[in-house]
Amino acid sequence: MSVKLADVSSRVKAETWGQHDLTVHRCHVVTLKKQRRRRRHFSGVKLLPYFYHYITTYTTSIILIICSSPVQTSFWPKQSAPPTTCNRSHVDRAQQVQAQPLHVSLSSLDLPWFGTNASRLRVKDPKRSVQFYEFLGMKVIQKLPNPDANFDLYFLAYDSSKAVSHGNHFTDREGIIELTHNYGTEDDPNYKIANGNQEPHRGFGHVCISVDNLQAACQRIEDAGYKFQKKLTDGRMRHVAFVLDPDGYWVEVIGQKPLEKTENVKETDPTTYRMNHTMIRVKDAEVSLKFYQETMGMQLMRKHEMESAGFNLYFLGYGGPVAENTPEGVSPTADHEGLLELTWNYGTEKDANFKYHDGNAEPQGFGHICISVDDLDAACARFEEKKVNWKKRLTDGRMKEIAFVLDPDGYWIEVVQNEKFKKRANW
């Protein structure tokens, strides 16, 4: 039996995930994403010899299970080897590969509480990644192992007694970095993530932490052997450094105090560090600002217009409107660990063909940002009213406790229940 593109689309419409049980014995699972890829694989020729057994959709991706004969490895995403036999757990995994989050969790307006605050990144080797973020003062506050689906999630955040959200549940705090580890990538010499900063796959930019004494903190990181994309002394911006995490993601490091005040300080205390923000690039600032404010309910906390350099930065988050600095000179945003930074490069909005990489198309890297809400059903009903583009409605798929909304650039925004307000997933 051959599969033509037309068959695929009609089956996709007819069948939804979860209504079928699998009873196949020997088969392969192929996850295909996006029209372009699909066309390449489904041009007809390659599939002719295979018996097509089951097809379903998981949001925009397609999971196709092909039985009875070997599948060229070219069908496979680089990071996973085809299983020789297939059962439900493989299908689940294929589904999960599409659905993983880095949390940048944040909170809202129309609804009294939009809460969590996280960014998600795929990592090759969780051991070295966790070690790196622990060195930066973070802690694994929750690990969600999914051995059946061959991946684990690690939620890291600042959690010392000095931290803003010390002791809070992971759905009830800002500034989480969620790492996703797909089993086996650590032993795959060819596995590499896209860090979002290299053409032609630019999109996600970085996460940022703020530290007590910038010079001393950067020295400590350097002494530990970590590499920098930009040291403090490189270039003209002396108050910012970018260290590279083990996968090459950029971590911006900034000071909590003015640079001059910490020049001669030699100590640094990682328990005082904070997650500061997560940066993504957007094509059209006007469209994105409208979306994040009106639809997602965020506030514009501050903006920097860098006209001579041709770009603007916008910092958004949840919580009340912010005043200028308090009399003590403390930034009113100092307690917001989960801000979202949008970078807009002038002119991209005028180019019809211009598009940023969402991190979930190949080559993968950044997963999503995440917000937690007071009432997940109500929040999603409101998003429905606002006519958002869904990646996954609550009712799609098996995971009824998470939804994914697409932002104007196609970045994924995970929406989960803040467990402080209501128990839902019990994770």
Please give the positions annotated as active site: 414
Cβ nearer to ligand NAG, comparing 86 with 379: 86
137's tokens: 């003062």
Q: H/E element holding 285? A: helix 285-290
Cβ nearer to ligand NAG, comparing 89 with 142: 89
User: Is 122 in contact with 332 (CB distance < 8 Å)?
Assistant: no
Residue 115 to residue 279: CA distance in whole angstroms: 18
State which of positions 125-154 bind ligand NAG (CB under 6 A): none
| Nearest residue to ligand NAG on Cβ basis | 331
**Contact between 87 and ligand NAG per CB under 6 A:** yes
- Mask 325-344, x = binds ligand NAG (CB under 6 A)? ------x-xx-xx-------
Closest separation in Å from C-beta 349 to ligand NAG: 26
User: Is 314 in contact with 300 (CB distance < 8 Å)?
Assistant: yes
Cβ nearer to ligand NAG, comparing 54 with 412: 54
- Mask 66-85, x = binds ligand NAG (CB under 6 A)? -----------------x-x
DSSP of 100-112: PPEE-EE--SSSS
Q: Where are the beta strands (DSSP E) in 113-150?
A: 114-123, 139-146
Q: Which residues are annotated as a binding site for Zn(2+)?
A: 341, 368, 414
Distances (CA, A) of 27 to 15, 62, 126, 396: 19, 16, 30, 25
Phi–psi pair at 290, nearest 5 degrees? -60, -45
205's tokens: 């930019």
**Contact between 274 and ligand NAG per CB under 6 A:** yes
**Contact between 272 and ligand NAG per CB under 6 A:** no
- Mask 193-232, x = binds ligand NAG (CB under 6 A)? -----------------x----------------------
How many residues touch ligand NAG under the rule CB under 6 A: the total is 13
Nearest one of 21, 13, 68, 66 to 42, comparing CA atoms: 66
Closest separation in Å from C-beta 376 to ligand NAG: 26
**Residues near ligand NAG (CB under 6 A):** 83, 85, 87, 89, 210, 254, 274, 276, 331, 333-334, 336-337
